[in-house]
C-alpha cells in the first residue's frame, strides 16, 4: 500500500507540474496574442486614418481647382468694366459656380469693399474691407484663401477663395467664392472612421480652414505638433496626439495637398481604434478564468481520483460505474463552468451583438456537454437529439416569426466531433436569423443531416429569406469560425444556388464505432 501511495504521490506531483506548465504556456500564448492584437489594432487605425486623409486631400484638390476656375470665369464674365446695372453678369456668376460642391456663394465687390454682384438671394450690403481675403488683394496679392470664418450674413462657418480684379492695371475690386465648412460632413460620412473622428483642412501657415465636426471657431494651429514636429520632416504621415480643438486623443493622418496651400487631415479616436483589442482582452480574460477554474478542478480531481483508486483498486466491478459517474460529473462541471463564462461575458461592457454572439456559441458547447452527461453518451452523441436542442433555443431567442423544420438521420457523432458540429450549426442558423429576415418578416429554416458515405455526412441549412451573395461575405469572427470548424472536421462547404440562402457542408463526423 505504501508503494502505491508513493506512486500516487509521484503521479499527483507530475500532474500538478504538467497542469501548471500548460497554464503558464497558455498565459504566454495569450500575452503574445494580445500584443499582436494591440499592434494590429493600432496599425489598422493608422491605415484607416491614412485612407481618410487621402480622400480629404482629393476633395480639397478638387475644390481648390474648381474654385480658381470659377473665379477666373467670373472675372472674364464681367467684361472691360464692372457694370452694376448689367443683368448678364449676374447670370454668368451663377453659371460659374453651378458645378461646385456644397453650399457655395459667389460675390463681386468693388474697390471700396461694397458688394456689387452675388449669387446669394439673401445678400445684404456689407463692408468687407476688414476681411483679410479682401485687404490682401487690395494690397497687391493676386489671389487669397481665407482661414475659417463666421459669416456675417448667416452666422455659419465658411472659408473664402478670392481673386483680385484689375481693369487697365488698376485695382477694381475682388471676386470671391464662399464655401460652407459643412461641406466636409459628406466626406466625414464617406470615410466612416467611427465616433469622435474628424476630417479637416488646414492652411500651411497653421490656420484652420474647415473641420467636421465643427470647431468652436477660427483656430491658429501653427504651434501644434503637426507643424512643429511632423510637417518639417515629411509631407505626409501619422501620429498620435491630443487635439487642440477638443482635447481628444486621436490617431491622426496628414497629407500635404500637392499644388495647393492646404494640409488634409483624417483622424480617428484612439479608444475607438483600440476597441478590437479590448474585445480580445475580454475574451482572453474569460479564457484564462475558464482555464484557471478547469486547471484547479482538474488538479483537485486528479488528486481525488488517485486517492479513491488507492482505496478501490480491488473493486473492479465498480470501476466502470464510478468512471461513468466521474465523466458525467466532469461534463456537468464543464457545462457549469461554460455557463459561468456566459455570466462573466454578460457582466462585461461589450456591444450587445458581440455579447449575444459569444453567449450563443458557448450555449452550443453547453448543449453538447449536457447531452453527454444527461444521456450517458460518453463516446458518441445522436445528431437527431443534439441539433434541435441547440437550434430551437436560437430561434426562440432571435425571431418569433421564424419556424424551423428538421430532417435529421439518427447519425452517431463522436464526442470529439459533437462540439464542432454544434458550433457550425449554431453559427449558420444565427446568420440566417440575423440577416435573412429583416424588418421582422416571417420565414422558415430547414435543417437536414444525412450520412452519405462510410465517414461523411451532409449538413444542409436553408432559409427562404432575402438571400445573399457569397462573394460579399465578410471574413469576420463568424466566417472564420465556420471555416475553422469545417477544417477541424476535414470537410468542405459551399452556398448552393436557389431561393434564399442554402448552406451545404460535407463533414467527417460519422462515428466509426457506431
The pLDDT tens digits of the residues spanning 124-142 come to: 667 788 899 999 999 999 9
Q: Mean pLDDT for the chain?
A: 79
Query: Residue 322: what pLDDT?
Result: 43
Higher-pLDDT residue of 237 and 431 is 237
Class of the CATH domain delimited by 1-273:
alpha beta
Query: Residue 459: what pLDDT?
Result: 93
**Per-residue pLDDT band at 21 (split at 50, 70, 90):** confident
d(CA 204, CA 256): 8
Query: Residue 321: what pLDDT?
Result: 47
φ/ψ (deg, to 5) at 443: -170, 180
**Per-residue pLDDT band at 375 (split at 50, 70, 90):** very low
Query: Residue 319: what pLDDT?
Result: 45
- CA end-to-end distance (rounded Å), the chain: 40
Residue that has been written with the C-alpha cell 465556420 in this structure: 482
Residue 416: which of 467, 369, 468, 451 has the closest Cα? Answer: 369
Task: Flag whether pLDDT at 389 surpasses 70.
Answer: yes
Output DSSP code: residue 401: T
Pair 314, 351: CB distance under 8 Å: no
d(CA 283, CA 34): 10
**Per-residue pLDDT band at 347 (split at 50, 70, 90):** low
Task: Flag whether pLDDT at 148 surpasses 90.
Answer: yes
Query: Residue 331: what pLDDT?
Result: 44
Element (H, E) at 462: strand 456-463
The alpha carbon of residue 127 and the mean position of all alpha carbons in its chain are separated, in whole angstroms, by 50
Task: Flag whether pLDDT at 374 surpasses 60.
Answer: no
Query: Residue 212: what pLDDT?
Result: 93
Query: Residue 353: what pLDDT?
Result: 57
Task: Flag whether pLDDT at 343 surpasses 60.
Answer: no
Write out pLDDT tens, residues 271-327. Answer: 877 778 788 888 888 888 888 888 788 777 777 777 776 666 655 554 444 444 444
Higher-pLDDT residue of 14 and 451 is 451
φ/ψ (deg, to 5) at 450: -140, 150
Least confident of 104-118, 162-176, 448-462: 104-118
Crossing angle, helix 2-77 and helix 87-97, to 10 degrees? 160
**Per-residue pLDDT band at 110 (split at 50, 70, 90):** confident
Higher-pLDDT residue of 363 and 185 is 185
Query: Residue 88: what pLDDT?
Result: 43
Higher-pLDDT residue of 5 and 308 is 308
**Per-residue pLDDT band at 264 (split at 50, 70, 90):** very high
Crossing angle, helix 316-347 and helix 352-375, to 10 degrees? 170
**Per-residue pLDDT band at 401 (split at 50, 70, 90):** confident
Least confident of 239-253, 359-373, 485-499: 359-373
Residues 451-456 have a mean pLDDT of: 89
Higher-pLDDT residue of 219 and 414 is 219
Crossing angle, helix 316-347 and helix 275-312, to 10 degrees? 160
Task: Flag whether pLDDT at 411 surpasses 60.
Answer: yes
d(CA 359, CA 365): 10
SS3 274: coil
Residues 373-380 have a mean pLDDT of: 55
Write out pLDDT tens, residues 187-199. Answer: 999 888 888 899 9
For the stretch 374-411, what's the b/e string if a residue is b when 16 or more beta carbons lie within 10 angstroms of its beta carbon? eeebeebbbbeebbebbbeebbeebbeebebeeebeeb
Residues 486-509 have a mean pLDDT of: 88
pTM: predicted TM-score of the whole model, two decimal places? 0.52
Provide, rounded to the nearest whole percent, the portion of the chain with pLDDT above 90: 29
**Topology of the domain covering 380-514:** Heat Shock Protein 90 (3.30.565)
d(CA 381, CA 377): 6
Element (H, E) at 262: strand 262-269
From the CA atom positions of the chain, what is the Rg in Å? Answer: 35
Q: Which three cell numbers stand for residue 471?
A: 462573394
Query: Residue 329: what pLDDT?
Result: 46
d(CA 428, CA 432): 6
Query: Residue 308: what pLDDT?
Result: 75
Residue that has been written with the C-alpha cell 479564457 in this structure: 287
Crossing angle, helix 2-77 and helix 275-312, to 10 degrees? 170
Provide, rounded to the nearest whole percent, the portion of the chain with pLDDT above 70: 76
**Per-residue pLDDT band at 336 (split at 50, 70, 90):** low
Residues 247-269 have a mean pLDDT of: 92
Higher-pLDDT residue of 12 and 496 is 496
Pair 466, 451: CB distance under 8 Å: no
Residues 19-25 have a mean pLDDT of: 85
In this structure, the dihedral spanned by the alpha carbons of residues 480, 485, 490 and 495, taken in order and rounded to 10 degrees, is -60
d(CA 62, CA 54): 12
Amino acid at each position: 500500500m505504501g508503494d502505491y501511495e508513493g506512486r500516487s504521490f509521484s503521479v499527483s506531483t507530475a500532474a500538478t507540474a504538467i497542469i501548471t506548465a500548460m497554464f503558464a504556456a497558455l498565459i504566454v500564448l495569450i500575452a503574445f496574442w494580445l500584443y499582436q492584437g494591440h499592434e494590429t489594432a493600432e496599425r489598422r487605425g493608422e491605415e484607416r486614418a491614412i485612407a481618410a486623409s487621402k480622400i480629404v486631400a482629393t476633395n480639397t484638390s478638387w475644390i481648390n481647382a474648381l474654385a480658381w476656375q470659377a473665379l477666373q470665369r467670373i472675372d472674364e464674365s464681367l467684361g472691360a468694366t464692372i457694370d452694376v446695372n448689367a443683368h448678364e453678369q449676374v447670370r454668368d456668376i451663377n453659371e460659374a459656380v453651378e458645378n461646385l460642391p456644397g453650399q457655395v456663394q459667389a460675390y463681386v465687390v468693388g474697390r471700396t469693399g461694397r458688394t456689387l454682384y452675388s449669387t446669394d438671394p439673401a445678400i445684404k450690403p456689407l463692408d468687407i474691407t476688414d476681411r483679410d481675403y479682401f485687404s490682401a488683394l487690395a494690397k497687391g496679392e493676386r489671389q487669397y484663401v481665407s482661414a475659417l470664418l463666421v459669416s456675417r450674413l448667416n452666422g455659419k462657418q465658411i472659408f473664402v477663395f478670392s481673386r483680385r480684379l484689375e481693369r487697365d492695371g488698376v485695382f477694381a475690386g475682388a471676386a470671391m467664392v464662399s464655401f460652407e465648412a459643412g461641406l466636409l460632413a459628406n466626406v466625414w460620412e464617406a470615410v466612416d472612421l467611427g465616433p469622435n473622428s474628424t476630417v479637416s483642412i488646414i492652411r500651411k501657415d497653421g490656420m484652420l480652414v474647415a473641420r467636421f465636426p465643427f470647431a468652436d471657431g477660427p483656430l491658429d494651429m501653427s504651434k501644434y505638433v503637426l507643424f512643429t514636429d511632423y510637417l518639417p520632416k515629411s509631407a505626409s504621415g501619422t501620429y498620435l496626439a491630443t487635439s487642440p480643438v477638443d482635447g481628444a486623443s486621436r490617431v491622426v493622418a496628414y497629407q500635404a495637398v500637392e499644388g495647393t496651400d492646404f494640409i488634409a487631415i483624417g483622424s480617428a479616436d484612439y479608444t475607438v481604434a483600440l476597441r478590437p483589442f479590448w474585445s480580445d482582452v475580454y475574451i482572453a480574460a474569460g479564457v484564462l478564468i475558464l482555464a484557471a477554474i478547469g486547471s484547479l478542478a482538474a488538479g483537485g480531481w486528479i488528486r481525488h481520483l488517485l486517492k479513491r483508486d488507492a482505496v478501490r483498486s480491488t473493486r473492479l466491478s465498480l470501476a466502470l460505474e464510478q468512471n461513468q459517474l466521474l465523466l458525467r460529473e466532469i461534463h456537468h462541471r464543464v457545462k457549469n463552468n461554460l455557463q459561468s463564462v456566459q455570466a462573466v461575458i454578460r457582466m462585461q461592457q461589450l456591444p450587445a451583438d458581440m455579447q449575444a454572439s459569444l453567449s450563443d456559441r458557448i450555449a452550443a458547447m453547453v448543449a453538447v456537454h449536457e447531452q453527454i452527461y444527461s444521456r450517458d453518451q460518453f463516446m458518441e452523441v445522436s445528431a437527431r437529439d443534439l441539433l434541435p436542442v441547440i437550434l430551437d433555443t436560437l430561434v426562440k431567442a432571435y425571431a418569433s416569426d421564424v419556424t424551423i423544420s428538421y430532417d435529421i438521420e439518427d447519425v452517431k457523432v463522436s464526442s470529439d466531433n459533437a462540439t464542432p458540429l454544434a458550433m457550425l450549426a449554431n453559427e449558420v442558423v444565427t446568420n440566417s436569423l440575423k440577416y435573412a429576415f429583416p424588418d421582422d418578416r416571417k420565414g422558415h429554416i430547414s435543417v437536414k443531416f444525412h450520412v452519405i458515405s462510410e465517414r461523411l455526412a451532409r449538413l444542409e441549412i436553408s432559409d427562404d429569406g432575402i438571400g445573399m451573395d457569397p462573394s460579399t461575405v465578410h471574413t469576420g469572427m463568424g466566417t472564420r469560425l465556420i471555416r475553422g470548424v469545417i477544417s477541424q472536421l476535414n470537410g468542405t462547404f459551399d452556398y448552393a444556388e436557389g431561393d434564399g440562402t442554402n448552406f451545404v457542408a460535407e463533414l467527417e463526423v460519422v462515428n466509426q464505432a457506431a
